Amino acid sequence: MTTKTDNRQRPPSPSATRPDLPSWLRLSVVLAPVLLVSLDGSILFLAMPRLSRALTPSADQALWILDGYGFAVGSLLIAFGAIGDRYGRLRLLTAGTALFGLASAAAAFAPTPELLIACRVLMGIAGATLLPSALAVLSELYPDARLRARAIGIFAATFAGGFAIGPILGGLLLERLWWGAVFLTNLPVVALFLVFAPLLPGRAPAARPGRVDVLSVATSSTGLMLTVYGVKHLAAEGIAALPAGATGTGAALLAWFVSRQRRLVHPLVDFSLFRDRTFTLAIVTGLLPLAAWSAAAYLSAIYLQSVRELDVVHAALLALPGAAVLTATSVVVPRVVDRVGKRTVLATAHFAIAVGLLALLVTSVGGGTGWYVASTAVAGIGYGISFAVVADTAVGAVPPERAGAAGALAETSNEIGNALGIALLGSLAVLVFRLQGPGLAPTLDATLQLRTLDAAGAAQARAAFVTGLHVVAITASALHAALGAVALRRLPRG
């Protein structure tokens, strides 16, 4: 009788009955959602010309199709990082991955620009649950500091590689399939993750005390969305009541959010982290390079296809060298950063990007594809450094129970940078095109599709677009050169 009672009182624990996955498979399972989020941040760059012909979005809708995803991810990363810390990171990661798959399937068959934008925003909401949760789950799976640093380096390489190969994968798919196929590539990855995720160890339901402050979640996400929306439209269309009001309201909400965090016992964001100059510059390094990369990649895709008139596969292959350099750099940098110091690494990132962007100035209507390849390769060194350093700095600066929130802050800088690059720098290129183009349509692709367009008008449109590309390259290069100088001047040696 006693034996039976003891057996009933000691049921096998879930960890005892669940098979243990090999270390490489654990890492692969956690990194699968990371790859999805980064891929979908860039996979539409080469697809936009064909998508525009199929759905005929307006210039404003085309920008929202591209950056609505990044806005949603960036606006909610901080909130979901804290939610995962408190209520279970793996649980949130699994739910977010499932939602990401459903939204991807809907996006593939969206019949109108409006529905596609809605699906992209839903994908962004799901994506916001994935990045901070994946980074925090890695910290749980690898408690040893050396193994954790190596896993975070691979995390950074995966994130960087996804952004880099996104346009290439999109181009290869579009050679034989319709534009919606770029979203269906997410479904096999989602299915594999949902199969293996229940087998992962370290499924603690909560890692952080206190309730999530709902008011902080609402103000941070709404403030970010309104601010970015307003700044985007002010840059593209000039002063108007609605975007100006959105910008002011968003800025006020963010200011109130910051003030509230300093009074809370369990804040959504620990702003005391920014007292460290290295941490602060690393976060800025997460934002500005992504802005430059996304804008340059988007505009270069249009340049190669609509100005140089290359087919989509040729354009995709030209992006391979830059993607290889970027990915390799993000793998190597975590192994050498302790030897050379973060000051040198961060400064090198900004100067490499500045030099690489200037190489785009040699591109023209009649040639320059070789200079485009050189630009992506040189700038890829800086982009790879930024991907690798930001995540490691953020997670290494906080105790393990704050890993999700700190990782969210690092990834927020990446995603907001990605969205701002297309919104602001992309809008700058649109402004130059409107000022110097033939004035028949607001974008190059829309102009080239006009049946009444003559050869002279097409030549003027292509030249105006190249001028816009050059203005964006100069602007982003100057910003990076300035930030590199700040790194050398303000950060301590060693």
Report the alpha-carbon distance of residue 44 to residue 65 in Å, rounded: 9
Give counts: helices (H), strands (E), the chain. Answer: 21, 0
User: Can you give the pTM of this predicted structure?
Assistant: 0.71
Of the candidates 471, 470, 68, 462, which has an alpha carbon nearest to the alpha carbon of residue 302? 462
User: Band of the pLDDT at 272, cuts 50, 70, 90?
Assistant: confident
The pLDDT value recorded for residue 494 is 58
Q: Tell me what percent of the residues of the chain surpass a pLDDT of 70.
A: 82
Report the alpha-carbon distance of residue 439 to residue 64 in Å, rounded: 22
pLDDT score of 165 more than 80? no
Least confident of 14-18, 374-378, 487-491: 14-18
pLDDT score of 404 more than 70? no
Task: Transcribe 259-308 into DSSP letters.
Answer: HHHTT-SS-SS-GGGGGSHHHHHHHHHHHHHHHHHHHHHHHHHHIIIIIS
Report the alpha-carbon distance of residue 242 to residue 219 in Å, rounded: 19
The pLDDT value recorded for residue 33 is 82
The pLDDT value recorded for residue 2 is 44
pLDDT score of 217 more than 80? no
- What single-letter DSSP state applies at residue 208? S
* 140 vs 119, residue with greater confidence: 119
- HSE of 56, CA atoms in CB hemisphere, 13 A: 5
Q: 89-108 and 59-87 helices cross at what angle (nearest 10)? A: 160
Task: Transcribe 7-37 into DSSP letters.
Answer: HHHSPPPHHHHSPPPPHHHHHHHHHHHHHHH
User: Band of the pLDDT at 387, cuts 50, 70, 90?
Assistant: confident
The pLDDT value recorded for residue 317 is 81
The pLDDT value recorded for residue 5 is 43
Burial environment of residue 15 by CB neighbours within 10 A (0 to 12, 13 to 18, 19 or more): exposed
The pLDDT value recorded for residue 390 is 74
Residue pLDDT, tens place only, 1-55: 444 444 444 444 444 444 455 667 777 888 888 888 778 777 777 777 778 778 8
The pLDDT value recorded for residue 295 is 87
Report the alpha-carbon distance of residue 345 to residue 381 in Å, rounded: 11
| Helix extents (H) in 145-276 | 145-174, 181-184, 186-196, 214-237, 241-261
Q: Are the C-beta atoms of residues 129 and 120 closer than 8 Å to each other?
A: no
The pLDDT value recorded for residue 463 is 93
Q: Tell me what percent of the residues of the chain surpass a pLDDT of 90.
A: 17
User: Band of the pLDDT at 465, cuts 50, 70, 90?
Assistant: very high
Burial environment of residue 18 by CB neighbours within 10 A (0 to 12, 13 to 18, 19 or more): middle
Residue pLDDT, tens place only, 338-373: 788 778 888 999 999 999 999 999 999 988 899 999
The pLDDT value recorded for residue 413 is 76
Report the alpha-carbon distance of residue 270 to residue 476 in Å, rounded: 30
The dihedral through the CA atoms of 136, 142, 146, 149 has a sign that is: negative
